[in-house]
Structure 1
């Protein structure tokens, strides 16, 4: 009989109900035992979970004092991540925390040390390691079509010219979007030797940053992560150059778009690209022949973060996101605002 992973959520907003619970529902080995939220109502999502036996309350100590909980998942506004993670870890709970994990390297190191001292699982929810576009790029690189990589760029573009928001550095695009893209690059290539930053507020100079173009420099590779909120015509999502070829993927992973339409993970066609959205590969083979082909998109699945957590907590597997990768990402993010 497969052992169940009993989880509890801290936070019950849009992110919990869009990016977490629908994917957990596709896994029979995970049970949502508790939800703690600052306020409780009678939303349909709550009623559905309560009917399945999930307990709702407003006190995080209900999670800490529940010995049946194997994993606490923090999905609150980012400013609360550090305090909740520390409280849960000190209370002896394994923790999976939404992004961005924390604001500073010092905070991240403190939490990592607490987790290590108590032999607890602690990891950020880097679901975009399972974006279909990223998995496709990863596959193309691993298969060697491109030769030695020279330059790789990932963009996250939107057109929201009137949506500038006040706030602090932690509330802007660099921490909000950059955390995903930096983690993707770190997962592929490790810690960069140098980082060059261009982070700006373009819609309103008094608002949080909404544009960045940041170069992560490796010995023979430039990895660029970039985003803007004023792209009437977006860049390709990925452009990858190597000594033997080039790969371009125009479009983003479709899981989020399908969720917004009301499609659920596990339903027919969920998260899938149409052939028109496949990436384009041009490369030269060993005979010097120029080959042009489309690359079918590798299927994405954000639930694989939970699969990885299950494997680590229940079976003792290495974490999907290592402590070193976690700390590297936070250090890169924090340094973007240091003078």
Structure 2
């Protein structure tokens, strides 16, 4: 049994963490929660307290608790680095929400500190278990597309009134949305040879905080991965487009877990997070006989809780971490590279 403490008890903790842990009570027990305001979520707090969870406003109660096996940091992005550093210095294993830090230098410091103390450190890259991403991995692994030439992945919304005039870079779209997409691409293909950035503020023109991004990652053998997000999309664009020497795969819709969670449908419910057949990805490819095959690929079932399964396997059974130190640093280097200068620019690896 792994004893967990949470630093933070807001929307993310209650939407993206606790519902999945409820299905894993044979492996995890939430023993402590630190939150700046007690009673802000009275129903959720009372439910946990009934199982023995202790709530407090002082992080020192976690720092001094030797019974804890893992601390999960779900605080505002700007505080991730400092809170994680404090916990590592206190000898705690840490799972920290994305992005893990505001710069590659901060990330390198945290990784080094964890290594020196032989501690577990990993960002909460739950979108490794998005249904659409798992399906893309399957399509690539099955070789339908041949040698890949182009991959394009989007995270688009229509939020025209939510632009900010001021704020730290970590609150921009590159660190907020791009971190997921960059991690997905790097997890499949590793570090690129070069990255080209186009970061813009499109809703509040005077802002220095990006809300529309395009990052092109260049790899060997003429392969390019494009990551793009916008907050001004009124017409749906494909979430994924992949092209190769033998075929093309396109999927329009995103993983359904977040939509279900927002409507109160919880993990474990029938059809939770499942794609409807009309939302399956479209694959067209040529087989070894030269026949043109046109079909739809059933979506692989997503499950954000699987990130906790991997944490358990690492802490209890010594398996490698889902997100390696090398991948953490590569992702943070790519995020930091986008802020090296204003305007379109290139970063070479």
TM-score, normalised relative to structure 2: 0.95
Q: CA deviation at 1:106?
A: 0.8
| Counterpart residue number, 1:35 | 33
> Could you tell me which of 252, 255, 258 is aligned with 2:254?
252
Q: CA deviation at 1:168?
A: 2.1
Q: How does 1:173-192 map to 2 (within 5 A)?
A: 173-192=173-192
Q: Is residue 19 of structure 1 aligned with residue 12 of structure 2?
A: no
| Counterpart residue number, 2:171 | 171
| Counterpart residue number, 2:345 | none
The CA deviation string for residues 13-40 of structure 1, in whole angstroms up to 9 with x for no partner, is 0111111111111112111111011221
Q: How does 1:119-268 map to 2 (within 5 A)?
A: 119-166=118-165, 167-207=167-207, 208-220=209-221, 221-268=223-270
Q: CA deviation at 1:206?
A: 2.6
SS at match of 1:80: helix
Q: CA deviation at 1:156?
A: 0.6
| Counterpart residue number, 2:327 | 325
Q: CA deviation at 1:235?
A: 1.1
Gap regions ≥5 residues in structure 1: none
Aligned equivalents of 1:33 and 1:292: distance in 2?
51
SS at match of 2:174: helix
The CA deviation string for residues 307-335 of structure 1, in whole angstroms up to 9 with x for no partner, is 11111111111000000000000010011
Q: How does 1:272-291 map to 2 (within 5 A)?
A: 272-291=274-293
Aligned equivalents of 1:74 and 1:89: distance in 2?
12
**Runs of 4+ more than 3 Å apart:** none
| Counterpart residue number, 2:91 | 92
Gap regions ≥5 residues in structure 2: 342-349
The CA deviation string for residues 96-138 of structure 1, in whole angstroms up to 9 with x for no partner, is 0000110111111111111001100000000000000000000
Q: CA deviation at 1:234?
A: 2.1
Q: CA deviation at 1:187?
A: 0.1
Across the aligned residues of Structure 1 and Structure 2, the Cα RMSD in angstroms comes to: 0.8
Aligned equivalents of 1:171 and 1:234: distance in 2?
24
Aligned equivalents of 1:201 and 1:24: distance in 2?
37
TM-score, normalised relative to structure 1: 0.98
